[in-house]
């Protein structure tokens, strides 16, 4: 299984929808699936989600690391690009 680092959510980067999953137990991934990748914290490399496919880890998914409290996002595309037009 591949291991992918997430990235830190930038200041002011607020996704349109979805929420932030909070990892209560640093030893247990928030999401478990049967996909191809593990997703790890950008800051401390703690495993936040396991067995996830990239399409499940889009810009709506944020995970707050249970170990270091960093809010991580998997999307490589900056969320500004998805911001709603006024």
* Residues near 76 by beta carbon (within 8 Å), at least 6 away in sequence: 7
Residues in contact with 16: Cβ distance below 8 Å, sequence separation at least 6, in sequence order: 79, 82, 83, 84
Tell me if 65 contacts Zn ion by CB under 5 A.
yes
Select from 3-11, 15-23, 64-72, 78-86 the region that touches Zn ion (CB under 5 A).
64-72
- Residue from the set 6, 9, 40, 41 that interacts with Zn ion by CB under 5 A: 41
CB of 52 to Zn ion, least distance (A): 17
Q: Does 46 bind Zn ion (CB under 5 A)?
A: yes
Nearer to Zn ion, 23 or 37 (CB): 23
- Interacting residues of 85 by C-beta distance below 8 A, sequence separation 6+: none
């Amino acid at each position: 299984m591949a291991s992918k680092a997430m990235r830190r959510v930038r200041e002011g980067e607020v996704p349109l929808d979805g929420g932030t999953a909070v990892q209560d137990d640093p030893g247990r991934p928030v999401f478990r699936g049967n996909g191809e990748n593990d997703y790890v914290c950008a800051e401390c490399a703690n495993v936040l989600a396991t067995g996830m496919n990239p399409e499940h880890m889009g810009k709506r998914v944020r995970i707050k690391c249970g170990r270091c409290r960093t809010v991580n996002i998997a999307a490589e595309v900056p969320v500004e690009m998805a911001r709603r037009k006024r």
